[in-house]
A and B are shown apart, each in its own frame.
Chain A
Amino acid sequence: MAVAEKKMAVAEKKTEKAWGKIVDAGLDEGIKKLTPEKIEKVINKALAAMGGARLKTYVDTCIHCGLCSEACHHYLSNDRDPSFAPVAKVKQTMWPILKNKGRVTPEFIRRAAEIAYTECNLCKRCSMYCPFGIDMAYILLSVRRICHLLGVTPLYLQDTAHSHAVTMNQMWVKQDDWIDTVQWQEEEIRAEIKNPRIPIDKEGADIMYSVIGPEPKFQAQLMGQAAIIMNVAGINWTYPSFDGWDNSDMAMYSGDHEIMGRVKRAHFEAAFRLKAKKIVMGECGHAFRSIYDVGNRWLGLKMPPVPVIHAIQFYYELLREGRIKIAKKFKEPVTLHDPCNVIRGRGLGEMARYVTNAICEDFTEMQPNREYNFCCCAGGGVINCGPPWAKKRAISNRVKAEQMKETGAHIVITPCHNCHSGIEDIIKYYKLGMHTKFFSEILVEVMEIPEEFKVG
């Protein structure tokens, strides 16, 4: 027994950080139900199901050079603490798991979960800095998959996954709440434009517009703004009244692939049922990743089965085609944050700049920018791990605060929900005196309202 225990990988000791020991019932209670035997069984089953081509090749190819370190905002923000380097996160999680063939202690799993869920945003910046292009985000997502199967997930994140499982949306929004919110927003924007319509379940519309659960839950005004843009641009669009209206997918980040697959399928099915020509997504990054990168592949789809475009591209097309005209450009100095999932994940960087320049007068780039931009530290489900981790999230992105401060901008445009909330947290924590805004917020403010839409 003593020998067997000795062979088991244990969690490495960690130097105390400013955020202290964080209590998370999902992790702390989760590991109480584990035994080394159960862990070993679950891990080996999970690894077998993953196939292992990438995991094995990545681990065997990594030469431990540490050149990925400076890619990571966690590493840079925590005074170059080596345990935050991308390769170090793999070293503290997947290497021992593979080396010991799943024989690791419950405490090891606790630490692995903390690393995979809260010390990596899966932004893939490190893949661009690794000479071998090793996809460390994929490895840490695999660690999350294992943690999920072991029942060790951060409580708040797990709650959103539960919500997806029960309601097919992220925020426990019931169908009547959803429909009511859509109709309420139609009423709301009557003050802004004449005879606005938010069509529900309109068959054969050009566009099915989809949002993330938090929009009807507590940011309904964004749905109203989207409706103003749609009406003024004369778009033939609709919302589904039924499940599938929510494009978000926190199950993807908790490691619950089965629920992720169900949620993605429901989203695509909604578009099929409405015979919509394409889906336009609101300003959310991870939702785009879930249909374009992770969820579609789980469903065996190389690309989404319905054309899907992100709001950045949609606004870009509207402005280019002149369907939306700008009355007076936004005056305040702005900067633009490139969200990983649509910039590094889909190359919308130039379109984002086109939109920014079209609607703003005074635009200063962050350095670095585009696909080289630093992550917001909220994405990858990290902000969804909730209040226990909020301080750690802010401390671990000092580099973002410095990067934003240098621009001298007052407004940070963040075309992604996680970036939007996460960067607002960073701004507050470092007292930068800035604010985040979505493109839609500025667009609605500066766009020309044609005569026929003017409320008289």
Chain B
Amino acid sequence: MFEFLMSEAVYKFVRGPLVWIAFFVCIVGSAYRIYSMISLAKKEKVLLPYLSLKYGLRSILHWIIPFGSINWRRHPIITIVTFLFHICLVFTPIFLLSHNILWYESWGISWWTLPESTADIMTLIVVFSCVFFLFRRIIASEVRFVTYPSDFLILTIAFLPFITGFLAYHQLLLPYRAMTILHILFGEAMLIAIPFSRIIHMVFGWFTRAYTGSEFGMVRHVRDY
């Protein structure tokens, strides 16, 4: 098993075609989900006419700013962890030096990168946030009551690329090559999972928020934050 993981062939595969497949599935899959959602929404004749750019954005703005909405203010710890988790989850992979090197090697493009020590801390933030969410799921009764195996799966999908990335960078536990291959595989799994799981909230959340914001702002004339 190890030798297989360590093999050049596997590395080449996960580093090459599988990256293409993962990004393709993620982007095309998510685009298709948006397309089918909007098609369905058009059939519900009373839905799209109530959308308002102004109030949709007002609502999004209040909810993507930490403590910008009433419920974020009510739960300071959850708010801090949630924001740190999502910021680190999204931006660490994009601005990581080693990822940039890969892009540069493949396509000759690169951009600003995070200092390595900062990236390291951000990775750990994701890892510990996952642990926090796991315990919250188990301990808080209102969360436990609505927890399904799929919730743990989603958490695991988010957890694995970061923990393996961390271990690979620090060359811990497994040989570097093996850990790197695992890291790439889990990263690709996450990309592929986006359109097929409730990780799709990263795509749909903007739409649901904008719709409710529009209803509350334009029709109901009240705040939704």
Residues of A within 8 A of B (CB): 50-54, 56-58, 60-67, 69-71, 75, 80, 82-83, 85, 87-88, 91, 127-135, 292-293, 297, 300, 302, 343-347, 349, 370-372
Contacts and interface: CB of A to CB of B under 8 A. Distances in A.
A293 B221 CA distance: 13
B46 A297 contact: yes
Contacts of B213: 133
Nearest to B43: A51
Nearest to A348: B221
Contact of B208 (A75, A87, A132): A132
B71 interface: yes
B90 interface: no
Main secondary structure of the interface of B (DSSP, over half): helix
Contact of A131 (B63, B147, B151, B204): B63
Given A57-B207, A80-B141, A135-B212, A371 B223 contact: yes
Interface residues of B, number: 49
A91 B198 contact: no
Contact of A64 (B151, B204, B223): B151
Interface in B199-218: 200-201, 204-205, 207-209, 211-213, 215-216
Contact of A133 (B45, B154, B198, B211): B211
A300 B37 CA distance: 21
A128 to B, nearest CB: 5
Best-surrounded residue of A54, A61, A130 (most CB of chain B within 10 A) = A61
A269 to B, nearest CB: 21
B74 interface: yes
A15 B211 CA distance: 36
Contacts of B151: 63-64
A371 B207 CA distance: 22
Contact of B222 (A62, A83, A130, A349): A349
B49 interface: yes
Given A58-B208, A133-B212, A128 B78 contact: no
Contact of A88 (B71, B146, B148, B212): B146
A53 B145 contact: no
Given A54-B44, A67-B78, A88 B220 contact: no
Best-surrounded residue of A60, A349, A371 (most CB of chain B within 10 A) = A60
Nearest to B137: A64
